[in-house]
Amino acid sequence: MSLIFLSIQNITGVIFYSILIIVLAFLLGKSTNNLSDMLGYKIGGLIGATLGNLPELIMGIWALRYGMIHMARGALMGSIISNMLLGLGIAVVLGGVKYKEQRFNKIIARTNFNMLFMAMIFLGILAALKGYGNISLNIEQSISTQVAMVMLGVYLLGLVFSLITHRNNFVLSEDGEQIEKSPKGNILKMIIKLFLISISLYFVSEKLIGNLKIVVESYNISEGFMGIILIPLLGNIGENTSAIMGALRNKVNLSLETAIGSSIQMALFVTPIMVIVSVFIGINLTLFFSVFHVIMIGAAVGISYFVFQDGKTYWFEGIILISTYIIITLAYYYLP
């Protein structure tokens, strides 16, 4: 009887904190859009993706500390897939219905997808190595740490490329004109507002995850499935809201930079950081994902690349992205 009452209490907590997350996500998306008007789509999208990924990074580290490795690994893969297929898919559908055709900077899309393809190749090489070689867990951890350092280096150099050496190729408005500068005071206030919203979103997310953990244990739900599907949906609400609001304002560059930029950060920044942190806390989190995981990531990156390679989108292409996400979700649900 007490177990049933506890489950009902936690389900109520899930509903309550979910409502709070939706409110905070709306505020985060609106603030990110306003900041992009001041700084340009590249920097605005980068800030939105970074702040949006902060809760996922900290929740992932906490999951490792509690020994929930399957949930942590699943959340990393699920976040990348969710951003590219579900978040962008909804944004493309809504933007396409409102504007029929939306155009964006192909240089932004090409550069971002090059980095995602590279991350996918890294994981594919490690998966092949594990499949054809007899490697001990210690060697897996050592190789993963070295590869993580390379991934971090590539991510930082990518920022140098897009924000410094080739900045003019990225910080452009939708009609090709340079973004006008805004007063530094307004920019600082907006950044502080974004930071406070993200911190609030983080704490509410933690409360939600705490209630979900008890519900999962009560109903014997797969920890891996929760990591792949539900955790990314909760953690990516901020980025997805930003991408959708950007598309509704006919700012597809912002939508791409927020959603795809978030996936890049998950693949080349958050994942390596978690691997390195796991070494210090004594948990064996490696980059040796299963072939199934690599295929799912490859499918998500591949279909997204074909949709965004021509510099324009239509609502039906969003349907293609969402449909692919549904199929991948079904595959994970029935995965033994």
DSSP string, 66-99: TT-HHHHHHHHHHHHHIIIIIIHHHHHHHHHHHH
Contact criterion met (CB below 8 Å) for 223 and 214: no
33 or 295, which is more confident: 295
Residue 245's domain spans which residues?
2-333
What is the token pair recorded at 127?
Answer: 């998966």
The token duo for 143 is: 């190789």
Which of 329, 86, 68 lies closest to 210, judged by CA? 68
Query: Which tens digit of pLDDT belongs to each residue from 23-63?
Result: 777 777 677 667 766 766 566 656 655 666 777 777 777 77
* Tally of domains in the chain: 1
Return the amino acid letter for 39: L
- pLDDT tens-digit profile of 226-238? 778 877 877 777 7
**Closest C-alpha to 333, from 231, 223, 225:** 225
Mean of the pLDDT values across residues 282-301?
88
Q: Residue 49 burial (CB < 10 Å; 0-12/13-18/19+)?
A: buried
- CATH classification at residue 67: 1.20.1420.30
- Run of H or E residues at 280: helix 271-281
Tell me what pLDDT residue 150 has.
Answer: 94
* Helix ranges (DSSP H) in the chain: 2-39, 41-65, 69-81, 88-99, 106-132, 137-160, 184-219, 223-225, 231-235, 237-248, 252-265, 271-281, 291-308, 315-333
CA distance 252 to 311: 10
Q: How confident is the model at residue 319 (pLDDT cuts 50, 70, 90)?
A: very high
Do 188 and 152 touch, CB atoms closer than 8 A? Answer: no
Among residues 213, 212, 193, the alpha carbon closest in space to that of 201 is found at 193
Q: What is the spatial distance between Cα 154 and Cα 115, in angstroms, rounded to a whole number?
A: 8
Which residues are CB-contacts of 43 (< 8 A; sequence separation ≥ 6)?
36, 163, 171
In this prediction, residue 168 carries a pLDDT of: 64
- pLDDT classification of 179: cutoffs 50, 70, 90: very low
Contacting residues for 249 by C-beta, under 8 A, at least 6 apart: 33
Regarding predicted confidence, which is higher, 239 or 291? 291
pLDDT tens readout for residues 108-156: 778 788 888 998 999 999 988 888 877 888 888 899 999 999 999 988 8
Per the CB < 8 A criterion, the answer to whether 102 and 247 are in contact is: yes
Non-local (6+) Cβ contacts of 205 within 8 A are 17, 21, 55, 59, 234, 235
Decide if 198 contacts 58 (C-beta within 8 A).
no
Q: At what angle do helices 41-65 and 237-248 cross, to 10 degrees?
A: 160
The CB-side HSE value for 224 (13 A sphere, CA atoms) comes to: 10
Q: List C-alpha distances in Å: 186 to 38, 198, 284, 300.
A: 9, 18, 44, 38
Strand-pair partners of 312: 103
Cα separation, 89 vs 215, whole angstroms: 30
Mean pLDDT of all residues in 274-290? 86
Beta partners for residue 189, in sequence order: none
pTM to 2 decimal places? 0.80
